[in-house]
Amino acid sequence: MLNTWLQGLLFGVAYIAPIGLQNLYMINTALAQPRRRALRVALIVTFFDISLAVSCFYGIGKLLELYSWLELVVLAIGSIIVMYIGITLLLSHSQSASHHNHSGQFSYKSAVVSAFSVAWLNPQAILDGTMLLGAFRVSLASNVQNYFILGVAMASVIWFLSLTTITSALKDRFQPRFLVLLNRICGIIIIVYGIKLLVTFFQKL
C-alpha cells in the first residue's frame, strides 16, 4: 500500500510539473500578491486540481466522449475565460506586477473562478488526465487504487505550495520590468491557448 501511495506521489509530480495554465497562474499570483494570500490561492488551485484528478481517475472524462454537446460547452466557456485571464495579464502594468500589496485589485471570488477555469475548463487536461489516470487505475488492484489517488493528491499539495513559496521568496530579486515582461509572456501563452480551445470548438461544431 505504501509502495502504491509513493507511486501515486511520483506520478502526480510528473503529471503536474510540466508548465501549464495552473503553474503560470500560480507563478503570477505569487509574484503579485503577499505570500500568505498567494498560499491561500495555492490551496484553492490545489483543491480544483485534486478534484479534477479524482474525477479523471474515476472516469468523468468519459462524459465528454459520450456527450459531444457537453464538450462543446466546456470548450466555448473555457476558451473565453482562459483568453480573459491572458488579456488581463497582458495588459497588467508594472504596479500590478510588482510585489506591493494591492488588496483593492484582488478578490478571492476572482481567484476561485480563475483556479476553476485553468483546471476544469480545459478539455485537453480532462481527456489526458482520464487516459493517464484511468490507465493506472486499470493496472492496479481494486484494494490499492485509493492509495494511488491519495498519492496523486499529496503531490498536488506539495507541488503548488512549494512553487508558490519558492516564487514568493525569490520575487524580491526580480526587477519590476522583468515582472511586467513575465506577465506579458505568460499572458500571450495563455491567450494562444485560449485561441486554440476556440479553434477546436469551431472544428468540432
For residue 100, pLDDT beyond 70: no
pTM of the model: 0.78
| pLDDT value, residue 19 | 52
| pLDDT value, residue 101 | 45
The total domain count for the chain is 1
**Residue 112: which domain range?**
2-204
| pLDDT tens sequence across 122-162 | 776 777 777 778 767 776 788 888 999 999 999 999 999 99
Q: Which three cell numbers stand for residue 152?
A: 496523486
| pLDDT value, residue 50 | 94
**Cβ pair 32, 176 in contact under 8 A:** no
**Cβ pair 14, 152 in contact under 8 A:** no
**Cβ pair 21, 193 in contact under 8 A:** yes
Distances (CA, A) of 36 to 31, 44, 47, 195: 12, 13, 17, 33
**Cβ pair 204, 72 in contact under 8 A:** yes
